[in-house]
Structure 1
Amino acid sequence: MRGGGAAEDEGRPRRTRRRPVPRDQQPAHDPAGGPPPQHPQQPHPAAERAPEPPPGRPGPSRRRAAPRRAADETATAPSRAAHPTGPYAPEQAATGHDNPGQEPPRPRGPRFGRPMSVGAIIGWTALSAFVPGAAHLRSGNRRLGFILLGVFGAILIGAILYGLQFVGNVGAAIRESTLITLTVASIVLALAWFVLVLLSYITLGPDRLPQSGQIVSGIVVGVLCVSVMAPFALTATTVNTTQEFLNAFPSDHENPTAVPVKAEDPFNGRKRVNFLLIGGDAAGNRTGVRTDSMTVASVNIATGNTVLFSLPRNLQHVHFSARSPLNKQFPNGFHRELPNGGLLNEVWQFAEDNPSFGLRGPEALKDAIGTTLGLHIDYYAMVDMFGFAALIDAIGGLKIRVTQDVKYGGKFGTAGTIKAGYRTLNGEQVLWYGRSRVGSDDFSRMARQRCVIGALAQQASPQVVLTNFTKIIQAAKRLFRTDIPRQLLEHLVDLGLKIKGAKITSTQFVPPQIWPGSPDWEKIKKMTTTAIRKSVGTTPVVASATPSAPGASATPPSTTPTASASSSGLATPTPNKNTADQTLSDLCGF
């Protein structure tokens, strides 16, 4: 039997691989305590190799080998249990059960990583305010995360394309349609970003935090939700303030006589546009409005070159155009019958006090000055003195070269002194600098006022205006009184940018060339025409034969002013020389 059993055993594969592995040859275990490596389970070799006996007749060799095989399996079982390196261990570990033929159970749900910390949730939520979708990608919601990123990219591209239309056409930014679009967009984006931050916080699973972490993260994210709305709220508020300011300008419906503004030709074919800039003084101790400062800015529309014509406030007996009702009342000049009256700064208030002539103050003054210069005055803008001071404060002051100490306040300058040198003056100081007559006269005031206008045109750059936009709008609300139509403003913005980089010259009608008490009207018109012609040309402007030093605003007045008798017998002080057609850079030392 043994010999026959041995012979039968030689016909089968040897089972040496099923014997226990010696300890010195066993693979090392994971030091971290994890299970040792496992190998896929394979069926018993004997089950594959042994021939199948005929039905109903078991094979003798299989009956004799059964006890021995059972004993071997019993001996190797403890080794496989202690060291699952045999062929059965891997499949059991993979399926989670001992029966390799049974189908493994399917997972019941997503497998989550470790809960995020409070700082991580706050950080990812804050990042989502700048990169929408970042929190959703972090939490595994990749589809929604990519959708949010795509929407954010589309908004950025749309904003860039919308902004490109203002390149070279800055004035379009103050169109009514543009302001409405910006307001609606600001409100929609503010709400959208609020919801975005809130959803980003929720998708990160703050409910898995401890209670204290939920409270802290909730407070921080609540503040963040309000913070992301702040820029949009500020934009909407600024646009609304701008809209209120622009609504103060008259529209075509409010001024039926105004010429319609065409987008393709806003100035109706004109090559120049003339603005009358008025400094009005309506102090509490005065009745009505007194136009103390009157300057005409004649602007070349194509180049922006500008000529400033300063008219003395004491210019007497001005004439009106033939079509004006006041010409019939004063055919020889305004109040010619009054030797010491009929001043130019009285025209506005006379028309306001006598509406029976059918003219209001602005129209009467525009007509008188236009007739004097031989120009058509297109628009006017009256600046309240105290509003002007607020405007200067809004842009951070003006840098002006003061060539001589300027005292102000009362008759003797007891309120203060503006020292000579390059100074940054605040609104109140600029007001005194342009208006003080202590140790000076009206003509020196006019020169200083020109320097203020030039300094403002130079220093009110687009960067300064945008930085202080809200303050400027608030100050400008009480600053202007004008007949410039609302529809023209966007075109004036572009014209203003041209003026900033163009040549600005100045002409004064003061002694000894023009005597305010007895002016030579034809000479004034000729000087106006000459100054405009020089401004259009490319040759440098040449000063008159008797120029004053740069900074004529601070030319020392004569202690004993000479009096020159005019043909009408009026004596006019002439403490300083006139400078005609000088650039403001030369005149004011910019």
Structure 2
Amino acid sequence: MTGHDGDRRTGRRPAVLKAAGLTLAAALVLGGAAAGWAYWHLNDNIRSVDINSALGDDRPAKAVVTPSASASASASPLPTGALNILVLGSDSRSGKANKELGGGDSSGARSDTAMVVHIDAGRTAATVVSIPRDTLVTRPSCPLSSGGSTAVAYDAMFNSAYAVGGPVCAVKTVESVTGVRMDHYLEIDFSGFAGLVDALGGVTVTTAQDIDDDKSRLHLEAGTHRLNGEQALALARTRHGIGDGSDLGRIGLQQKLVKALLEQIAATDLLADPAQLYRVADAVTGSLTTDTGLNSLGELMSLGQSLKGLTADRMKTVMMPVVTAPSDPNRVVAREPAAGELWKSLR
């Protein structure tokens, strides 16, 4: 699934997307002073990056949103417009927990999972597009929080954007490659993802083939399995021992896991178990880095509530069309015109 270019807000602040909407409810059900403490704790968990200020106006245009009749009649309507959200999995909150789960250390970070989540107008259907980390792209010049900017890089690995410039460069690179404006940014780290799965009591996934990967520490026979957090994370990261061992095989497992997580959240009656609800909310907020448009419980709750009509069977998962790179048989490049047509459909 770094150090951070963003700052922690003072006194504040898949499946994953719906889980975000549970956070405020977790505080409210605890009652009285405990609710106040829980709200503060969950709010303060979240880290954020001011991507809009960093990138300015040199970006794809925002989609034009036309308010619906029901929205105009409501004092506080839930948003219904289409959204594009860049979701990354990373080891950015480095530490003992992430290291034990195969993460990096304080000197660096990786972003091996990248998905553009397009939510249709009305927010009852979504398309999740995975971008292979081994895709060669032109990485644009990115602003750095320390001042200055990175140089333009040609034939650069897609996931190098995060390594050299954090979330800001990841967003700018995705927008440069796709021509699609990212309305929001969500990043979840290794240990937080594992903690979320554990807080939900595990997740059920069916694999079509045996998985035997010493590097991700995952050994599963083909079939249906109930995975704990560490196993689910290993499934999301595994690529050796499946298919041709490339990142493309891993993407299929990641998409399967996202749908399974959505189904698990929908099947779990968290409101009937305040303690479990709080554990889920703590795992979600404690592992998130967002843009400043989603860095409070109120904003996350509004997003979560607006997605209440989105179910796993209305989520389409695809991979950006790619072909083997002419310059390197171990890398891929976007396959045109198919990739361009896909991105155009999401604008």
Report the TM-score, using the length of structure 1 for normalisation. Answer: 0.42
Q: Determine the C-alpha separation between the residues in 1 that align with 2:78 and 2:24.
A: 15
What do the CA deviations read for 1:387-435 (whole angstroms, capped 9, x no partner)?
A: 211110110111111111111223xx8x551121111111111111121
Aligned match of 1:444: 249
For structure 1, the residue ranges without an aligned partner over 5 or more in a row are 1-170, 188-235, 337-341, 352-360, 534-590
Aligned match of 1:469: 277
Structure 1 residues 172, 479: CA separation in 2 closer, same or farther (over 3 Å shift)?
Answer: closer
List structure 1 segments (4+ residues) > 6 angstroms apart after TM superposition.
Answer: 321-328
Deviation at 1:370, TM superposition (A): 1.9
Deviation at 1:348, TM superposition (A): 1.5
Computed over aligned residues only, the root mean square deviation of the Cα atoms, in angstroms, reads: 3.9
Identity, % of aligned pairs? 21
**Match among 195, 208, 220 for residue 418 of structure 1:** 220
Q: Determine the C-alpha separation between the residues in 2 that align with 1:323 and 1:289.
A: 18
Aligned match of 2:288: 480
Structure 1 residues 464, 239: CA separation in 2 closer, same or farther (over 3 Å shift)?
Answer: farther
Q: Which amino acid in 1 is paired with 2:86? A: L
Query: Do 1:304 and 1:502's aligned partners in 2 also have CA atoms closer than 8 Å?
Result: no
1:244 aligns with 2:41: yes
For structure 2, the residue ranges without an aligned partner over 5 or more in a row are 1-20, 57-70, 93-102
Q: Determine the C-alpha separation between the residues in 2 that align with 1:309 and 1:513.
A: 19
Q: Determine the C-alpha separation between the residues in 2 that align with 1:370 and 1:285.
A: 28
Aligned match of 1:347: 161
Query: Residues 392-541 of structure 1 correspond to what in structure 2 (within 5 A)?
Result: 392-410=197-215, 415=217, 417-439=219-241, 440-461=245-266, 463-466=268-271, 467=273, 468-483=276-291, 484-486=294-296, 487-500=298-311, 503-512=314-323, 517-520=332-335, 523-530=338-345, 532=346
Structure 1 residues 527, 416: CA separation in 2 closer, same or farther (over 3 Å shift)?
Answer: closer
Higher radius of gyration, 1 or 2: 1
Structure 1 residues 374, 522: CA separation in 2 closer, same or farther (over 3 Å shift)?
Answer: farther
Structure 1 residues 367, 421: CA separation in 2 closer, same or farther (over 3 Å shift)?
Answer: same
**Match among 142, 166, 177 for residue 372 of structure 1:** 177
Structure 1 residues 303, 480: CA separation in 2 closer, same or farther (over 3 Å shift)?
Answer: closer
Aligned match of 2:24: 174
Deviation at 1:306, TM superposition (A): 0.2
What do the CA deviations read for 1:130-153 (whole angstroms, capped 9, x no partner)?
A: xxxxxxxxxxxxxxxxxxxxxxxx
Q: Greater strand percent: which structure?
A: 2
What do the CA deviations read for 1:295-344 (whole angstroms, capped 9, x no partner)?
A: 011102414210001001011123549999999942xxx344xxxxx211
Q: Determine the C-alpha separation between the residues in 2 that align with 1:525 and 1:429.
A: 35
Aligned match of 1:298: 118
**Match among 373, 388, 406 for residue 193 of structure 2:** 388
Deviation at 1:522, TM superposition (A): 5.2
Report the TM-score, using the length of structure 2 for normalisation. Answer: 0.69
Q: Secondary structure at the match of 2:84?
A: strand
Query: Do 1:295 and 1:308's aligned partners in 2 also have CA atoms closer than 8 Å?
Result: yes
**Match among 69, 73, 86 for residue 276 of structure 1:** 86
Query: Residues 10-409 of structure 1 correspond to what in structure 2 (within 5 A)?
Result: 174=24, 179=28, 186-187=31-32, 236-237=33-34, 240-249=37-46, 257=53, 264=76, 271-282=81-92, 283-284=103-104, 287-320=107-140, 329-330=151-152, 334-336=153-155, 342-351=156-165, 361-409=166-214
Q: Which amino acid in 2 is paired with 1:509? A: M
Q: Which amino acid in 1 is paired with 2:127? A: V
Deviation at 1:454, TM superposition (A): 1.0
Q: Determine the C-alpha separation between the residues in 1 that align with 2:149 and 2:319.
A: 25
Q: How many residues align?
A: 285
Deviation at 1:509, TM superposition (A): 2.0
Q: Greater helix percent: which structure?
A: 1
Structure 1 residues 425, 172: CA separation in 2 closer, same or farther (over 3 Å shift)?
Answer: closer
Structure 1 residues 477, 494: CA separation in 2 closer, same or farther (over 3 Å shift)?
Answer: closer
Q: Determine the C-alpha separation between the residues in 2 that align with 1:508 and 1:321.
A: 26
